Structure 1
Amino acid sequence: MAEEHDFDAGDFADDLAAMTDDELFALMQTLEQESENVAVEAGETSDVFARIALVETAIEDRFPGQLLAPYKEWQQRRTTV
């Protein structure tokens, strides 16, 4: 899995900064789904959890003091539409 070994946190963070809120939230949702499929043994070599942490930080930076509430609200809006 070359993609996991080529992960560059700085580049990824730059990409996150350029995303709209909806794009950021959709990425978080995708990463959460991917994390459910990561085998326990592969957890230390997978970059999914590092990506989730960076997305969480980006959300918290955009919405200071709200933690992940905007993301959770976005999820609820999407399930009721």
Structure 2
Amino acid sequence: MQQEIRIGVIALTDSAPFVVAQKTGFFEAENLTVELIKQASWATLRDKLAYGEIDAAHMLSPMAIALQLGLGGSPKKDVLAPLVLNRS
């Protein structure tokens, strides 16, 4: 049974792992049907994640903490951030 996941991304180079995984069939090999949904801004991505319009997201590290605390105008949302792809 395939799991369907909607992932919000911002069109930046650090979203490349999701794009490459989709193009090379990695998601399919893991029984995942993934839809990458391009977002216009970080705020849009945050809000769509908070309200359940997307299931996962490529986001800035502090956004997960802000969502957990209910900061930035979105409601509190339990967020699991299992992977940091880039830190500068």
TM range (shorter): 0.3 to 0.5
TM-score where L is the length of structure 1: 0.35
Structure number with the higher strand fraction is: 2
